[in-house]
Homo-oligomer: A and B are copies of this chain.
Amino acid sequence: MSAEGAEGAEGGASVGTAGTARPGGRTARTREAVREATLAELADKGFAGLTVEAVAARSGVHKTTVYRRWRNAAGLAADALDLASTEPWPIPDTGTIAGDLRAITALVSTGFLDATDGPTARALVVAAVRDPIASDALRGFLVGRLVDAGSVVERAVERGELPPGTDGVEVVRAAVAPLYYRLFITNEPVGDAVSTRAADAAVVAARAGVFVTDDG
């Protein structure tokens, strides 16, 4: 997506580092062009190689505009995460909590290991470990995903599979945490057996009431 004429978009109301304007307007197009260039640069070079200059060149947005709105690599990564937060994703509904959680852990592991999208996803996590602005954005993104995914637990409670008051976010976090631990902390392999076991462990603990919290 080309963003020539981005200079003319300065009049739009801006929020945060990235600016917002009417949907589909010029500011939105600029933001989308910068986001796409950021993701492509992250895939190619990782967070350590992400620069405002390269994103400006790749997006066709003027360098001074990128500097003014996104400031630096962390701001670019953070905005890519903020935009990703608003996008839908396929929350599974297999009919059982075990099936749903296995689908979620498989989605996480295949997402990070995917030949096309994996490098970008991993680079965004690395950005968050290195930089507080990107960290805030990643937390927003992941907590949003955990809340979305918690709906599989709500359905399981309604079906009588899990005890009332089970905290959906805690269950999903328990299921995915061992994958992140292996992928980012110890750099150990994550295969189907690991994903399945992580989901199953969370299901068993949830059934036993470990994730029943006072605030429901």
A84 at the B interface (CB under 8 A):
no
Contacting residues, chain B, for A177 (C-beta < 8 A): 177-178, 180-181
Q: Count of chain A residues with Cβ under 8 Å from any Cβ of B?
A: 36
CB distance from A188 to the nearest CB of B (A): 7
- C-alpha spacing A197/B169, complex, angstroms: 13
CB distance from A173 to the nearest CB of B (A): 6
A9 at the B interface (CB under 8 A):
no
5 shortest interchain CB distances as A-B pairs? A201-B205, A177-B181, A177-B177, A177-B178, A129-B129
A128 at the B interface (CB under 8 A):
yes
CB distance from A179 to the nearest CB of B (A): 8
Question: Taking CB as reference atom, which chain B residue is nearest A126?
Answer: B129
- Which positions in A face B, CB cutoff 8 Å? 48, 125-126, 128-130, 135-136, 138-139, 142-143, 170, 173-174, 176-178, 180-182, 184-188, 197-198, 200-202, 204-205, 208, 210-211
Q: Check if B130 sits within 8 Å of A126, measured CB to CB.
A: yes
**Told that A129-B130, A180-B180 touch, could you supply 8 new A-B pairs with CB distance under 8 A?**
A129-B129, A129-B185, A142-B185, A174-B201, A197-B210, A197-B211, A202-B205, A204-B208
Q: Check if A129 sits within 8 Å of B184, measured CB to CB.
A: yes
Q: Check if B181 sits within 8 Å of A176, measured CB to CB.
A: yes
CB distance from A112 to the nearest CB of B (A): 12
Q: Check if A142 sits within 8 Å of B186, measured CB to CB.
A: yes
Known interface pairs A174-B201, A201-B205, A210-B204; A185-B143 also in contact (CB < 8 Å):
no
Question: Taking CB as reference atom, which chain B residue is nearest A198?
Answer: B174
Contacting residues, chain B, for A178 (C-beta < 8 A): 173-174, 177
- C-alpha spacing A186/B205, complex, angstroms: 22
- C-alpha spacing A128/B125, complex, angstroms: 13
